[in-house]
Structure 1
Amino acid sequence: MRKLLATGAAAVMATAGVGLTSTPAQAASAVQIYRVYFDSPGKDTGSNASLNGEWVQLVNTSRSARQLKGYKLRDKTGYTYTFGHFTLKGRAKVTIRTGKGRNTTATRYWGRSWYVWNNTGDTATLRYPNGKTADTCSWGSKGDYKYC
């Protein structure tokens, strides 16, 4: 009788879409990719102003400040921006611009001399210092920016 009940319960759970061996859902990262401006305004001339028109914005969704040292932001090709010592305040945003400039609490500069994000489609991935994925955002060829 117990075997019959166990088998029946498994059948009911499977029909309802409940797995008997489930893994816990991965918690959402407090720091997430908020928006990507992948196609800077105007022609892609490679000027610093044009490069800085291409950026990724991260948001800290928690009320607590987060230390981002060692976090990595990368594209599909493998171009990678690594945060040095940087604290993102609670409920705050930081913009990572592709070109050169002076880092502030609201804006960080990658220091590249050419574009990172593909206008025809790409994926931005934010990784924790241990290499695990914190967040991703993908887009196709339509538009200039993407809210993630």
Structure 2
Amino acid sequence: MKKLLVTGAAAIAAAGAGVLVATPAEAASPVQIYRVYYNSPGSDTGSNKSLNAEWVQLFNTSRSSKNLKGVKLRDKTGYTFTFGSFTLKGRKSVYVHTGGGSSTATHRYWGKKWYVWNNTGDTAYLLYASGRVADKCSWGRTGSSKYC
């Protein structure tokens, strides 16, 4: 599991009102993929309840809020969720669910009608609005979730 504290040279510079902006190439993003629940419990029926049991948890490691407008969450195939106007508070998480629902400060909904994350292995990418990779998390054929 990644360390949740980012300090020193690995810190990120926040531009303006907390928009995600990377500094040196080795710097870690303050918003990271913390966990992916890629294999929802039970049979893959495609029900909204089952789709929403498939999710990605993002965590803001910094103490300050980060504006995620234009930030993308993508799988290997290219399915992409793009954040609209959304700010993630410092030291807080947001869950991006595959199915539909009413978005809140802690839960966002992709609105897909079928599963995104492959149970047999996949990679979740967190991309800055520029398209550059902020973080990624990969898994194989075993288990139901992965701490990144």
What interval of TM-score do these two structures reach, taking the shorter chain for normalisation?
0.7 to 0.9
User: Is residue 113 of structure 1 aligned with residue 113 of structure 2?
Assistant: yes
User: Identity across aligned pairs (percent)?
Assistant: 70
2:135 is matched with 135
Task: Return the offset for 1:43.
Answer: 0.2
Deviations 1:63-93 (A, max 9, x none): 0000000000000000000000000000000
Secondary structure, aligned partner of 1:50: helix
User: Is residue 124 of structure 1 aligned with residue 124 of structure 2?
Assistant: yes
What is the aligned length?
125
Structure 2, unmatched stretches of 5+, are 1-23
Task: Return the offset for 1:40.
Answer: 0.2
- The two structures have a TM-score, normalised by structure 2, of 0.83
Q: C-alpha separation between the residues in 2 aligned to 1:132 and 1:118? A: 23
Secondary structure, aligned partner of 2:100: coil
User: Is residue 95 of structure 1 aligned with residue 76 of structure 2?
Assistant: no
Structure 1, unmatched stretches of 5+, are 1-23
Secondary structure, aligned partner of 1:78: coil
- The two structures have a TM-score, normalised by structure 1, of 0.83
Task: Return the offset for 1:61.
Answer: 0.1
Provide runs of 4+ in structure 1 moved above 2 Å: none
* Structure (1/2) with the larger helix percentage: 1
Q: C-alpha separation between the residues in 1 aligned to 2:25 and 2:97? A: 32
How do 1:1-148 and structure 2 match up within 5 A? 25-148=25-148
Root-mean-square deviation (Å): 0.7
Q: C-alpha separation between the residues in 2 aligned to 1:45 and 1:72? A: 26
Q: C-alpha separation between the residues in 2 aligned to 1:31 and 1:94? A: 10
